Amino acid sequence: MTAAQLAAGLRIKAFRAQELCRASISRIEALDPQINAIVVRDFERAQSEARMADEAMAKGQQRALTGIPVTVKESFDLRGHGTTWGLPAHSEHVARQDALAVQRLKLAGAVVLGKTNVPQVLGHWQPANPIYDRTNTPHDVTRSPGGSSGGSAAAIAMEFSALELGSDTGGSIRVPAAFWGIYGHKPSHRLVPTGGHAEGGAQIAPQALRVIGPLARSAEDLAMAPDVVAGPDTDSTANKLNLSPPRHGQLRSFRVFVLDHHPAARADSSILGALDMLADHLTQESATVARQSGLLPDLTAQWKTYQTLLHTIISRRDPANARAPISAHDWLAQLDLQAQFRRQWAYFFRHFDIVLCPAFGTTAFPHYDEPDWRKRSLGIDGEPAEFGAQLGWAGIATVANLPATAIPCGLDKTDLPIGVQAIGSFLEDKTTIAFAGMVGREIEPPALAL
Protein backbone atom coordinates (compact mmCIF):
# COMPACT_ATOMS: atom_id res chain seq x y z
CA MET A 1 0.00 0.00 0.00
CA THR A 2 0.98 3.62 -0.45
CA ALA A 3 1.30 5.92 2.55
CA ALA A 4 -2.07 7.49 1.71
CA GLN A 5 -3.72 4.06 1.57
CA LEU A 6 -2.15 3.06 4.86
CA ALA A 7 -3.39 6.27 6.47
CA ALA A 8 -6.90 5.53 5.20
CA GLY A 9 -6.72 1.97 6.54
CA LEU A 10 -5.63 3.21 9.95
CA ARG A 11 -8.46 5.73 9.94
CA ILE A 12 -11.12 3.03 9.52
CA LYS A 13 -9.24 0.68 11.91
CA ALA A 14 -8.60 -1.97 9.24
CA PHE A 15 -5.27 -2.52 11.01
CA ARG A 16 -3.20 -0.89 13.72
CA ALA A 17 0.06 1.01 13.61
CA GLN A 18 1.77 -1.72 15.62
CA GLU A 19 0.77 -4.28 12.98
CA LEU A 20 2.25 -2.10 10.24
CA CYS A 21 5.44 -1.66 12.20
CA ARG A 22 5.83 -5.39 12.84
CA ALA A 23 5.10 -6.19 9.19
CA SER A 24 7.74 -3.69 8.03
CA ILE A 25 10.34 -5.04 10.45
CA SER A 26 9.61 -8.64 9.40
CA ARG A 27 9.97 -7.76 5.72
CA ILE A 28 13.27 -5.94 6.34
CA GLU A 29 14.67 -8.84 8.33
CA ALA A 30 13.63 -11.34 5.65
CA LEU A 31 14.66 -9.50 2.47
CA ASP A 32 17.14 -6.76 3.29
CA PRO A 33 20.17 -9.09 3.67
CA GLN A 34 20.10 -9.40 -0.14
CA ILE A 35 19.61 -5.64 -0.69
CA ASN A 36 21.37 -3.90 2.23
CA ALA A 37 19.17 -0.81 2.21
CA ILE A 38 18.37 -0.33 5.93
CA VAL A 39 21.83 0.12 7.44
CA VAL A 40 20.77 1.79 10.71
CA ARG A 41 17.90 0.06 12.50
CA ASP A 42 15.85 1.76 15.20
CA PHE A 43 13.25 -0.97 15.61
CA GLU A 44 12.77 -0.79 19.36
CA ARG A 45 11.99 2.92 19.31
CA ALA A 46 9.82 2.43 16.20
CA GLN A 47 7.67 -0.12 18.00
CA SER A 48 7.29 2.31 20.88
CA GLU A 49 6.28 5.09 18.45
CA ALA A 50 3.77 2.72 16.81
CA ARG A 51 2.23 1.93 20.20
CA MET A 52 1.87 5.66 20.94
CA ALA A 53 0.33 6.14 17.49
CA ASP A 54 -2.34 3.53 18.28
CA GLU A 55 -3.02 5.21 21.60
CA ALA A 56 -3.42 8.57 19.90
CA MET A 57 -5.79 7.20 17.25
CA ALA A 58 -7.86 5.49 19.94
CA LYS A 59 -8.47 9.01 21.25
CA GLY A 60 -9.43 10.26 17.80
CA GLN A 61 -6.09 11.99 17.21
CA GLN A 62 -4.70 11.23 13.75
CA ARG A 63 -2.24 13.53 12.06
CA ALA A 64 -0.96 13.36 8.47
CA LEU A 65 1.48 10.47 9.05
CA THR A 66 0.26 8.93 12.28
CA GLY A 67 1.36 5.28 12.38
CA ILE A 68 2.98 5.33 8.91
CA PRO A 69 6.33 3.45 8.75
CA VAL A 70 9.04 5.67 7.22
CA THR A 71 12.80 5.62 6.78
CA VAL A 72 15.35 8.40 6.30
CA LYS A 73 18.69 8.68 4.54
CA GLU A 74 21.79 7.95 6.64
CA SER A 75 22.88 11.55 6.12
CA PHE A 76 20.18 12.81 8.53
CA ASP A 77 20.69 12.96 12.28
CA LEU A 78 18.62 10.35 14.10
CA ARG A 79 18.95 10.67 17.86
CA GLY A 80 21.14 7.97 19.39
CA HIS A 81 22.71 6.89 16.09
CA GLY A 82 25.66 7.95 13.99
CA THR A 83 25.59 10.28 11.00
CA THR A 84 28.66 9.10 9.12
CA TRP A 85 27.93 9.83 5.44
CA GLY A 86 29.85 6.58 4.91
CA LEU A 87 33.09 8.03 6.30
CA PRO A 88 35.07 5.96 8.84
CA ALA A 89 36.32 9.22 10.39
CA HIS A 90 32.79 9.78 11.72
CA SER A 91 32.10 6.21 12.83
CA GLU A 92 32.11 7.22 16.52
CA HIS A 93 29.61 10.05 16.08
CA VAL A 94 26.26 9.80 17.90
CA ALA A 95 23.52 12.33 17.19
CA ARG A 96 22.04 14.05 20.24
CA GLN A 97 18.81 15.01 18.49
CA ASP A 98 16.92 14.35 15.27
CA ALA A 99 17.45 16.50 12.19
CA LEU A 100 14.79 19.21 11.89
CA ALA A 101 13.07 17.48 8.96
CA VAL A 102 13.02 14.20 10.91
CA GLN A 103 11.54 16.01 13.90
CA ARG A 104 8.75 17.25 11.66
CA LEU A 105 8.09 13.74 10.35
CA LYS A 106 7.72 12.51 13.93
CA LEU A 107 5.52 15.46 14.92
CA ALA A 108 3.24 14.40 12.05
CA GLY A 109 3.04 10.95 13.65
CA ALA A 110 5.47 9.00 11.45
CA VAL A 111 7.08 5.84 12.81
CA VAL A 112 10.79 6.01 11.87
CA LEU A 113 12.21 2.51 11.34
CA GLY A 114 15.80 3.55 10.68
CA LYS A 115 18.22 4.96 8.11
CA THR A 116 19.21 3.94 4.59
CA ASN A 117 22.55 3.50 2.85
CA VAL A 118 24.60 6.19 1.07
CA PRO A 119 27.88 6.56 -0.84
CA GLN A 120 30.77 8.29 0.88
CA VAL A 121 30.13 12.04 1.24
CA LEU A 122 26.94 11.50 -0.81
CA GLY A 123 29.21 11.96 -3.82
CA HIS A 124 28.29 9.06 -6.13
CA TRP A 125 25.38 7.37 -7.90
CA GLN A 126 26.11 4.10 -6.11
CA PRO A 127 25.45 3.68 -2.36
CA ALA A 128 28.61 1.94 -1.15
CA ASN A 129 31.01 2.82 1.64
CA PRO A 130 33.54 1.17 4.01
CA ILE A 131 31.12 1.23 6.96
CA TYR A 132 27.91 -0.22 5.49
CA ASP A 133 29.11 -1.88 2.26
CA ARG A 134 27.04 -1.74 -0.94
CA THR A 135 23.30 -1.63 -1.70
CA ASN A 136 21.85 -3.74 -4.53
CA THR A 137 18.75 -3.46 -6.69
CA PRO A 138 16.17 -6.28 -6.71
CA HIS A 139 15.59 -5.84 -10.44
CA ASP A 140 19.18 -6.95 -11.13
CA VAL A 141 21.60 -7.34 -8.21
CA THR A 142 24.57 -6.74 -10.53
CA ARG A 143 23.45 -3.13 -11.05
CA SER A 144 23.52 0.03 -8.96
CA PRO A 145 20.32 1.33 -7.37
CA GLY A 146 21.53 4.87 -8.06
CA GLY A 147 22.46 7.51 -5.55
CA SER A 148 23.16 9.13 -3.47
CA SER A 149 19.70 8.31 -2.09
CA GLY A 150 20.01 4.75 -3.43
CA GLY A 151 19.25 3.08 -0.12
CA SER A 152 16.26 5.43 0.15
CA ALA A 153 14.81 4.29 -3.17
CA ALA A 154 15.50 0.66 -2.29
CA ALA A 155 13.53 0.95 0.95
CA ILE A 156 10.51 2.27 -0.93
CA ALA A 157 10.66 -0.13 -3.88
CA MET A 158 11.15 -3.12 -1.56
CA GLU A 159 8.14 -1.98 0.52
CA PHE A 160 10.24 -1.75 3.67
CA SER A 161 8.72 1.66 4.40
CA ALA A 162 5.99 3.80 2.88
CA LEU A 163 7.80 7.14 2.73
CA GLU A 164 11.48 8.10 2.67
CA LEU A 165 13.37 11.32 3.27
CA GLY A 166 16.32 11.82 0.91
CA SER A 167 18.48 14.66 -0.38
CA ASP A 168 19.51 15.87 -3.84
CA THR A 169 22.38 17.92 -5.28
CA GLY A 170 23.30 15.97 -8.41
CA GLY A 171 20.11 14.02 -9.03
CA SER A 172 20.44 12.09 -5.76
CA ILE A 173 16.66 11.70 -5.39
CA ARG A 174 15.66 11.68 -9.04
CA VAL A 175 18.24 9.18 -10.37
CA PRO A 176 17.54 6.35 -7.89
CA ALA A 177 13.80 6.98 -8.20
CA ALA A 178 14.11 6.57 -11.97
CA PHE A 179 16.27 3.45 -11.57
CA TRP A 180 13.73 1.83 -9.23
CA GLY A 181 10.49 2.83 -10.96
CA ILE A 182 9.19 4.94 -8.07
CA TYR A 183 8.44 8.63 -7.50
CA GLY A 184 10.91 11.15 -6.10
CA HIS A 185 10.73 14.90 -5.64
CA LYS A 186 13.58 17.41 -5.60
CA PRO A 187 11.97 20.47 -3.98
CA SER A 188 12.58 24.12 -4.70
CA HIS A 189 15.76 25.27 -3.00
CA ARG A 190 15.45 25.82 0.77
CA LEU A 191 11.82 24.72 0.79
CA VAL A 192 12.80 22.15 3.43
CA PRO A 193 15.34 23.25 6.10
CA THR A 194 18.61 21.31 6.17
CA GLY A 195 19.40 21.52 9.87
CA GLY A 196 20.83 18.19 11.07
CA HIS A 197 21.87 17.09 7.58
CA ALA A 198 25.69 17.17 7.78
CA GLU A 199 28.39 14.57 8.29
CA GLY A 200 29.38 13.87 11.88
CA GLY A 201 26.95 16.44 13.26
CA ALA A 202 28.78 19.38 11.69
CA GLN A 203 27.12 22.79 11.89
CA ILE A 204 27.10 24.18 8.35
CA ALA A 205 25.31 26.93 6.43
CA PRO A 206 22.59 26.03 3.90
CA GLN A 207 24.21 24.96 0.65
CA ALA A 208 23.75 26.70 -2.69
CA LEU A 209 22.44 23.54 -4.41
CA ARG A 210 21.41 20.79 -1.98
CA VAL A 211 17.76 20.16 -1.10
CA ILE A 212 15.85 17.66 1.03
CA GLY A 213 12.89 15.80 -0.42
CA PRO A 214 10.70 12.68 -0.38
CA LEU A 215 10.65 9.37 -2.26
CA ALA A 216 7.46 7.30 -2.38
CA ARG A 217 5.41 4.75 -4.32
CA SER A 218 2.87 7.34 -5.49
CA ALA A 219 2.73 11.01 -6.40
CA GLU A 220 -0.06 11.40 -3.84
CA ASP A 221 2.41 10.40 -1.14
CA LEU A 222 4.96 12.92 -2.42
CA ALA A 223 2.30 15.61 -2.06
CA MET A 224 1.91 14.77 1.63
CA ALA A 225 5.55 15.45 2.42
CA PRO A 226 5.86 19.22 1.76
CA ASP A 227 2.92 19.93 4.05
CA VAL A 228 4.79 18.06 6.79
CA VAL A 229 8.49 18.95 6.45
CA ALA A 230 8.55 22.21 4.45
CA GLY A 231 8.68 25.66 5.96
CA PRO A 232 11.19 28.08 7.50
CA ASP A 233 13.54 27.17 10.32
CA THR A 234 14.62 29.30 13.27
CA ASP A 235 17.35 30.94 11.13
CA SER A 236 14.87 32.23 8.55
CA THR A 237 13.33 35.69 8.49
CA ALA A 238 10.09 34.22 7.14
CA ASN A 239 7.45 32.96 9.53
CA LYS A 240 5.29 30.85 7.23
CA LEU A 241 5.20 29.20 3.82
CA ASN A 242 2.27 29.13 1.41
CA LEU A 243 2.93 27.00 -1.66
CA SER A 244 0.80 27.70 -4.71
CA PRO A 245 -1.75 25.02 -5.62
CA PRO A 246 -1.18 23.01 -8.83
CA ARG A 247 -1.59 25.15 -11.92
CA HIS A 248 -4.03 22.70 -13.52
CA GLY A 249 -6.26 19.82 -12.56
CA GLN A 250 -6.38 18.11 -15.96
CA LEU A 251 -3.65 17.02 -18.37
CA ARG A 252 -5.21 18.83 -21.30
CA SER A 253 -4.58 22.17 -19.59
CA PHE A 254 -0.81 21.69 -19.28
CA ARG A 255 1.71 23.39 -21.57
CA VAL A 256 4.63 20.96 -21.72
CA PHE A 257 8.08 21.54 -23.19
CA VAL A 258 9.83 18.26 -24.09
CA LEU A 259 13.61 18.54 -23.76
CA ASP A 260 15.38 15.53 -25.30
CA HIS A 261 18.83 17.04 -25.83
CA HIS A 262 21.58 18.57 -23.69
CA PRO A 263 24.94 20.09 -24.66
CA ALA A 264 26.84 17.68 -22.39
CA ALA A 265 24.62 14.75 -21.45
CA ARG A 266 23.31 12.08 -23.79
CA ALA A 267 20.40 9.68 -23.35
CA ASP A 268 19.93 6.25 -24.87
CA SER A 269 17.08 5.12 -27.09
CA SER A 270 15.11 3.47 -24.26
CA ILE A 271 14.94 6.74 -22.29
CA LEU A 272 14.20 8.90 -25.32
CA GLY A 273 11.61 6.38 -26.52
CA ALA A 274 9.81 6.55 -23.17
CA LEU A 275 9.94 10.35 -23.32
CA ASP A 276 8.41 10.29 -26.81
CA MET A 277 5.66 7.90 -25.72
CA LEU A 278 4.80 10.17 -22.81
CA ALA A 279 4.75 13.19 -25.12
CA ASP A 280 2.41 11.31 -27.49
CA HIS A 281 0.13 10.47 -24.58
CA LEU A 282 0.01 14.13 -23.56
CA THR A 283 -0.87 15.13 -27.13
CA GLN A 284 -3.67 12.54 -27.18
CA GLU A 285 -4.97 14.10 -23.95
CA SER A 286 -5.03 17.48 -25.76
CA ALA A 287 -2.17 18.98 -23.73
CA THR A 288 0.02 21.53 -25.49
CA VAL A 289 3.38 19.91 -26.30
CA ALA A 290 6.37 21.79 -27.76
CA ARG A 291 9.96 20.77 -28.49
CA GLN A 292 11.45 24.11 -29.52
CA SER A 293 11.32 27.57 -27.95
CA GLY A 294 13.47 30.67 -28.12
CA LEU A 295 12.64 31.22 -24.45
CA LEU A 296 14.70 28.22 -23.27
CA PRO A 297 17.63 29.45 -21.13
CA ASP A 298 21.15 28.73 -22.39
CA LEU A 299 21.82 25.15 -21.24
CA THR A 300 25.54 25.40 -22.01
CA ALA A 301 25.94 28.44 -19.74
CA GLN A 302 23.89 26.73 -17.03
CA TRP A 303 26.01 23.59 -17.30
CA LYS A 304 29.22 25.57 -16.79
CA THR A 305 27.87 27.37 -13.74
CA TYR A 306 26.44 24.19 -12.26
CA GLN A 307 29.75 22.38 -12.66
CA THR A 308 31.67 25.25 -11.07
CA LEU A 309 29.35 25.45 -8.06
CA LEU A 310 29.13 21.69 -7.64
CA HIS A 311 32.85 20.97 -7.86
CA THR A 312 33.64 23.78 -5.44
CA ILE A 313 31.16 22.36 -2.94
CA ILE A 314 32.57 18.85 -3.42
CA SER A 315 36.16 20.01 -3.02
CA ARG A 316 35.38 21.13 0.52
CA ARG A 317 34.36 17.63 1.63
CA ASP A 318 36.01 15.32 -0.90
CA PRO A 319 39.07 17.05 -2.43
CA ALA A 320 40.40 13.81 -3.94
CA ASN A 321 37.42 13.62 -6.33
CA ALA A 322 36.99 17.28 -7.21
CA ARG A 323 38.52 20.05 -9.22
CA ALA A 324 40.45 22.87 -7.58
CA PRO A 325 38.21 25.31 -5.69
CA ILE A 326 37.59 28.80 -7.06
CA SER A 327 38.19 32.15 -5.37
CA ALA A 328 35.56 33.86 -3.23
CA HIS A 329 35.04 36.52 -5.92
CA ASP A 330 34.55 33.84 -8.58
CA TRP A 331 32.07 32.10 -6.30
CA LEU A 332 30.05 35.30 -5.95
CA ALA A 333 30.12 35.75 -9.73
CA GLN A 334 28.69 32.25 -10.16
CA LEU A 335 25.92 33.06 -7.67
CA ASP A 336 25.12 36.12 -9.79
CA LEU A 337 24.78 33.86 -12.85
CA GLN A 338 22.61 31.46 -10.86
CA ALA A 339 20.25 34.34 -10.02
CA GLN A 340 20.11 35.28 -13.70
CA PHE A 341 19.12 31.73 -14.62
CA ARG A 342 16.38 31.85 -12.01
CA ARG A 343 14.94 34.96 -13.65
CA GLN A 344 15.20 33.44 -17.14
CA TRP A 345 13.33 30.32 -16.04
CA ALA A 346 10.68 32.43 -14.30
CA TYR A 347 9.97 34.11 -17.64
CA PHE A 348 10.02 30.74 -19.46
CA PHE A 349 7.40 29.38 -17.06
CA ARG A 350 5.03 32.20 -17.92
CA HIS A 351 4.61 30.39 -21.25
CA PHE A 352 5.03 26.74 -20.14
CA ASP A 353 4.00 24.77 -17.08
CA ILE A 354 6.35 21.76 -17.24
CA VAL A 355 9.70 20.81 -18.75
CA LEU A 356 9.81 17.07 -19.39
CA CYS A 357 13.27 15.52 -19.80
CA PRO A 358 15.40 12.51 -18.77
CA ALA A 359 16.39 12.13 -15.13
CA PHE A 360 19.42 10.12 -16.28
CA GLY A 361 20.58 8.98 -19.70
CA THR A 362 20.28 5.22 -19.08
CA THR A 363 18.54 2.70 -16.90
CA ALA A 364 20.44 1.30 -13.89
CA PHE A 365 24.09 0.71 -14.80
CA PRO A 366 26.34 -2.13 -13.52
CA HIS A 367 28.07 -1.76 -10.16
CA TYR A 368 31.45 -0.07 -10.43
CA ASP A 369 34.54 -0.11 -8.22
CA GLU A 370 36.43 2.84 -9.70
CA PRO A 371 35.96 5.80 -7.30
CA ASP A 372 37.18 8.48 -9.72
CA TRP A 373 34.35 9.66 -11.99
CA ARG A 374 36.88 10.92 -14.52
CA LYS A 375 38.10 7.36 -15.14
CA ARG A 376 34.64 5.86 -15.73
CA SER A 377 32.51 5.67 -18.84
CA LEU A 378 28.86 4.87 -19.41
CA GLY A 379 27.45 2.78 -22.22
CA ILE A 380 24.77 4.60 -24.22
CA ASP A 381 23.31 2.60 -27.11
CA GLY A 382 26.47 0.53 -27.25
CA GLU A 383 28.86 3.50 -27.34
CA PRO A 384 31.00 4.87 -24.48
CA ALA A 385 29.91 8.20 -23.01
CA GLU A 386 31.33 10.41 -20.27
CA PHE A 387 29.97 9.26 -16.92
CA GLY A 388 30.03 12.62 -15.11
CA ALA A 389 28.29 14.39 -17.99
CA GLN A 390 25.05 12.76 -16.85
CA LEU A 391 24.98 15.46 -14.17
CA GLY A 392 23.73 17.67 -16.99
CA TRP A 393 20.19 16.29 -16.75
CA ALA A 394 20.05 16.80 -12.98
CA GLY A 395 21.71 20.20 -13.18
CA ILE A 396 18.98 21.81 -15.29
CA ALA A 397 16.70 22.08 -12.27
CA THR A 398 19.37 22.15 -9.58
CA VAL A 399 21.39 25.16 -10.69
CA ALA A 400 18.23 27.25 -11.05
CA ASN A 401 16.81 25.98 -7.72
CA LEU A 402 13.69 24.62 -9.44
CA PRO A 403 11.41 21.76 -8.30
CA ALA A 404 11.61 18.50 -10.25
CA THR A 405 9.66 15.26 -9.85
CA ALA A 406 10.87 11.85 -11.05
CA ILE A 407 8.12 9.86 -12.80
CA PRO A 408 8.20 6.10 -13.52
CA CYS A 409 7.70 5.31 -17.22
CA GLY A 410 7.58 1.52 -17.39
CA LEU A 411 10.39 -0.91 -18.29
CA ASP A 412 13.03 -1.22 -20.97
CA LYS A 413 13.62 -4.36 -23.08
CA THR A 414 15.62 -5.96 -20.23
CA ASP A 415 12.85 -5.24 -17.68
CA LEU A 416 14.76 -2.45 -15.95
CA PRO A 417 12.67 0.55 -14.82
CA ILE A 418 12.71 3.77 -16.82
CA GLY A 419 12.10 7.21 -15.34
CA VAL A 420 11.92 10.82 -16.52
CA GLN A 421 11.61 14.11 -14.65
CA ALA A 422 9.11 16.98 -14.71
CA ILE A 423 10.63 20.38 -13.91
CA GLY A 424 8.50 23.35 -12.85
CA SER A 425 8.67 26.97 -11.78
CA PHE A 426 10.29 27.98 -8.49
CA LEU A 427 8.10 27.20 -5.46
CA GLU A 428 5.48 25.53 -7.66
CA ASP A 429 6.31 22.10 -6.30
CA LYS A 430 2.67 21.09 -6.15
CA THR A 431 2.40 21.54 -9.92
CA THR A 432 5.20 19.08 -10.80
CA ILE A 433 3.92 16.55 -8.24
CA ALA A 434 0.34 16.83 -9.50
CA PHE A 435 1.52 16.44 -13.10
CA ALA A 436 3.51 13.35 -12.11
CA GLY A 437 0.41 11.87 -10.56
CA MET A 438 -1.70 12.50 -13.64
CA VAL A 439 0.70 10.80 -16.04
CA GLY A 440 1.99 8.21 -13.57
CA ARG A 441 -1.43 6.68 -13.09
CA GLU A 442 -1.14 5.33 -16.62
CA ILE A 443 1.92 3.19 -15.83
CA GLU A 444 2.10 0.04 -13.73
CA PRO A 445 5.11 -0.30 -11.40
CA PRO A 446 7.69 -2.98 -12.25
CA ALA A 447 7.68 -6.33 -10.48
CA LEU A 448 10.48 -7.13 -8.03
CA ALA A 449 12.82 -9.95 -8.91
CA LEU A 450 13.00 -11.29 -5.33
* C-beta separation of 439 from 429 below 8 A: no
What is the spatial distance between Cα 238 and Cα 234, in angstroms, rounded to a whole number? Answer: 9
> Of the listed 75, 148, 149, 188, which one is catalytic?
148
CATH number at residue 172: 3.90.1300.10
Number of domains in the chain: 2
Residues 286 and 386 in one domain: yes
* C-beta separation of 253 from 33 below 8 A: no
Residues 72 and 182 in one domain: yes
What is the spatial distance between Cα 207 and Cα 166, in angstroms, rounded to a whole number? Answer: 15
The mean per-residue pLDDT over the stretch 295-299 comes to 98
The mean per-residue pLDDT over the stretch 13-23 comes to 98
Residues 15 and 162 in one domain: yes
pLDDT confidence band for 441 (50 / 70 / 90): low
**Is 222 a member of any domain?**
yes
Domain boundary among 167, 196, 229: 229
- Segment 51-71, tens digit of pLDDT: 999 999 999 999 999 999 999
Residues 225 and 270 in one domain: no
- Segment 239-250, tens digit of pLDDT: 678 899 999 999
For the CA atoms of 84, 387, 212, 91, the dihedral, rounded to the nearest 10 degrees, stands at 0
Residues 128 and 43 in one domain: yes
148 catalytic per annotation: yes
Strands 133-134 and 163-168: unpaired
Residues 285 and 206 in one domain: no
**Is 99 a member of any domain?**
yes
Residues 8 and 51 in one domain: yes
Per the structure, the complete domain to which residue 344 belongs is given by 251-440
Residues 72 and 140 in one domain: yes
Residues 63 and 186 in one domain: yes
Residues 209 and 323 in one domain: no
Residues 194 and 258 in one domain: no
> Of the listed 161, 172, 218, 270, which one is catalytic?
172
* C-beta separation of 267 from 259 below 8 A: no
Domain boundary among 196, 229, 262: 229
For the CA atoms of 312, 318, 320, 326, the dihedral, rounded to the nearest 10 degrees, stands at 20
> Of the listed 24, 73, 149, 186, which one is catalytic?
73
Residues 341 and 291 in one domain: yes
- Segment 230-279, tens digit of pLDDT: 998 877 766 678 899 999 999 999 999 999 999 999 999 999 999 999 99
**Is 182 a member of any domain?**
yes
